[in-house]
Amino acid sequence: MKIAILGTGAVGTTIGSKLIELGHEVMLGSRSNTNEKATEFVNKHDKNAYKGTFEEAATFGEIIFNCVKGEFSIAALKSAGSGINNKIIIDVSNPIDTSKGAPLSLIPELCNTNSLGEEIQRNFPNIKVVKTFNTMWSTLMMIPSMLQDGDHTNFICGNDEEAKNEVKNLLYEIGWKEKSIIDLGDITAARGTECLILLWLKIWGATIGTFSIKVVN
Amino acid sequence: MKIAILGTGAVGTTIGSKLIELGHEVMLGSRSNTNEKATEFVNKHDKNAYKGTFEEAATFGEIIFNCVKGEFSIAALKSAGSGINNKIIIDVSNPIDTSKGAPLSLIPELCNTNSLGEEIQRNFPNIKVVKTFNTMWSTLMMIPSMLQDGDHTNFICGNDEEAKNEVKNLLYEIGWKEKSIIDLGDITAARGTECLILLWLKIWGATIGTFSIKVVN
């Protein structure tokens, strides 16, 4: 499948590398098509790795990952123009307010009664936003087995059932087990998964090594 | 030990019954000392169960649980007057904004960059607020073994180390194992544990039966 990844940070390149390993073609999108990290990414892979502007990447991708920082996500998707039309956007980002100091908080307009996932869906009504992966480290997203043989939880939410099913299939391909995926319903559930970052950061400070969250019952 | 519980709802009475079973003396506090649920609680137990106003209960208790709804917690503690002075307040409550409809949200002034735990500590500087138990059902607080032999997580935070240690000892007495308790640091961590309710409510809607959260590593 042709997959676009908007954002060239650790999250975007980690996801991109895994998808190439699985046989997909990946284009990293960024503000400029001379982005150094994107060039490095392309050079690192023998084949199936491409780079371009946000618009070029979005046009290329049948599915699009949003791995741009929360505060810049809407702008990046706007730059992508008509390239995103009618496509699935897998939104991995959290609306962290980097303008304030520690302890980190969420962008006030995008928490509690709103979320980045909803804001994206509202700004671009003809795309299908599926929120997932935003509650864990990027390496864990792509190698779930690195903790407890994959026995921890990945949440998913979004308004379009078909889009969610397509994303779930991609999750299975990556190595996620069906029992480890909890479908929380529509995109308003992003309020819950995004604000988990506030707890996540405190657990990170209090524990040693890689961790994640598991729903036990 | 003499323990006060402010609040006569399911959370307060569940905690109270368990503490009596463990041999403690418990006084339930409410706005009026003719509260029906408190009377029922006292009648249900052969001994060690008492009732009174917020102030009477707080004066009675060596340790005080806040099990009053988030929106009324500060008022209840104000009613308790000097009864709370220099004592440990175990704050179990979440600042749910019940004035709005579904999906439930948090009181705007008490989330993201603030929390109920912090607000209580700020309003009553001479008490020692310890936040714990607020991420799970009340029965699970008191019978951790009802899920996975107790192998799930209870978070704790607060500014006073000695107070936290005293509360941890009470958690062990209830049946919590040391490895299941994660100390997140000072009371600002309450921002993370309180907003977990937004995710918790969505998990509740998406799954069947009792559940809780476990940090896996």
Q: Which residues of A touch B154 (CB under 8 A)?
A: none
Tens-digit pLDDT profile for residues A153-209: 999 999 999 999 999 999 999 999 999 999 999 999 999 999 999 999 999 999 999
> How far is A37 from chain B, CA to nearest CA, in Å?
30
Sorting pLDDT into bands at 50, 70 and 90, what band is A101?
Answer: confident
Nearest CA-CA partner of A56 in A33, A88, A90: A33
Nearest to B184 among A112, A182, A202 (CB): A202
Note which residues in 139-168 of chain B have CB less than 8 A from chain A.
147-148, 151-152, 155, 157
Residue B113 has pLDDT above 90, yes or no: yes
Q: Cβ(B22)–Cβ(B173) under 8 Å?
A: yes
Q: What is the predicted pLDDT for the residue at A100?
A: 85
- Is residue A33's pLDDT more than 90? no
pLDDT one-digit tens code per residue, A6-19: 999 999 999 999 99
Smallest CA–CA distance, residue A34 to chain B, in Å, is 37
CB within 8 Å: A205 and B191 = no
pLDDT of residue B33: 82
Q: What is the pLDDT of residue B183?
A: 98
**Which A positions 3-42 lie with beta carbon below 8 A of chain B?**
none
Average pLDDT (B75-100) is: 96
Q: Do A196 and B200 touch (CB under 8 A)?
A: no
What pLDDT is recorded for position A22?
98
Q: Does domain B2-206 have CATH number 3.40.50.720?
A: yes
**Which residues in chain A are contacts of B201 at CB distance < 8 A?**
192
CA distance A17 to A15: 6
Half-sphere exposure of A61 (CA within 13 A, CB side): 34
Q: Is the pLDDT of residue B101 over 90?
A: no
The answer to whether the beta carbons of residues A58 and A29 sit under 8 Å apart is: yes
pLDDT above 70: percentage of residues in chain B: 100
Q: Does A123 touch chain B (CB under 8 A)?
A: no
CB-based contact B216 A215, cutoff 8 Å: no
**ipTM of the shown complex:** 0.96
- Cβ atoms within 10 A of the Cβ of A181, count? 18
The packing angle between helices B190-206 and A190-206, to 10°, is 130
Q: What is the pLDDT of residue A103?
A: 85
Per-residue pLDDT, averaged over B28-52, amounts to 96
φ/ψ of residue A31, rounded to 5:
-60, -40
Residue of chain B with shortest Cα separation from A188 = B103
How many cross-chain Cβ pairs, A to B, lie less than 8 Å apart? 132
Q: What is residue A47's DSSP assignment?
A: S
> A199 at the B interface (CB within 8 A)?
yes
pLDDT tens, position by position, B55-83 = 999 999 999 999 999 999 999 999 999 99
Mean pLDDT within B169-188: 98
Are B195 and A157 inside 8 Å of each other by CB?
A: no
pLDDT at B103: 85
Strands in chain B per DSSP E? 2-6, 25-30, 49-53, 63-66, 88-91, 96-97, 105-106, 128-132, 154-158, 181-183, 212-216
Whole-number pLDDT of residue A213: 98
pLDDT band at A58 (very low <50, low <70, confident <90, very high): very high
Beta bridge partners of A106: A96
Residue B102: pLDDT band with limits 50, 70, 90: confident
Kindly tell me the burial class for residue A161, based on how many C-beta atoms sit within 10 Å of its own C-beta (0-12, 13-18, 19 or more): exposed
Q: What is the pLDDT of residue B119?
A: 98
Which residues in A lie closer than 8 A to residue B205 (C-beta atoms)? 184-185
